[in-house]
Structure 1
Amino acid sequence: MNQKISPPSRGPVDHDVRNQIVEAAAEHFSRYGYEKTTVSDLAKAIGFSKAYIYKFFDSKQAIGEVICSNTLLKITTTINESMDGAPTASERFRRMFKSAIGASVQLFFQDRKLYDIAAAAAGENWNSVANYDLKLKQTILDVLQEGRASGEFERKTPIDETVNAIYFVMKPYLNPLLLQHNLDRAEDTGVMIVNLILRSLAP
Structure 2
Amino acid sequence: MSQTPSSVPASRGPADHNVRDQIVEAAGEHFSHYGYEKTTVSDLAKAIGFSKAYIYKFFDSKQAIGEAICAKTLSAIVAAVEEAVAGATTPTEKFRRMFKTLVSTGVSLFFNDRKLYDIAAYSAGEGWPSARAYCERIRQILTEIVREGRESGEFERKTPLDETVHAIDLVMQPYVNPLLLQYNLDVAEEAPAQLSNLVLRSLAP
In the alignment, is residue 56 of structure 1 matched against residue 51 of structure 2? no
Shift of 1:194: 0.5
Q: 1:166 to 1:12 in 2, by over 3 A?
A: closer
Long gaps (5+) in structure 1: 1-10
Residues 97-141 of structure 1 show CA distances to partners (whole Å, capped at 9, x for unaligned) of 001110111123322222221121011010000000110000000
TM-score (norm 1): 0.91
In the TM superposition, 1:172-187 aligns within 5 A as 172-187=174-189
Greater relative contact order structure (CA < 8 Å, 6+ sep):
2
In the alignment, what sits opposite 2:23?
Answer: 21
Unmatched 5+ residue regions in structure 2? Answer: 1-12
Q: Which of these two proteins has the greater Rg computed from alpha carbons?
A: 1
Q: Provide closer, same or farther for how the CA distance between residues 139 and 51 of structure 1 changes in structure 2, counting only shifts above 3 A.
A: same
Contact 2:31–2:115 (CA<8 Å) still a contact in 1? Answer: yes
The amino acid across from 2:77 in the alignment is I
1:15 and 1:145, CA in 2 relative to 1: closer, same or farther beyond 3 A? Answer: farther
**Partner residue in 2 for 1:37:** 39
Q: Which ranges of 4 or more aligned residues in structure 1 deviate by more than 2 Å?
A: 11-15
TM-score, normalised to structure 2, is: 0.90
Asked if 1 retains the 8 angstrom alpha-carbon contact of 2:74 and 2:120, the reply is no
Identity of aligned residues (%): 66
Query: How far is the alpha carbon of 1:23 from its aligned partner?
Result: 0.6
CA distance in 2, matches of 1:139, 1:13: 31
The count of aligned residue pairs is 193
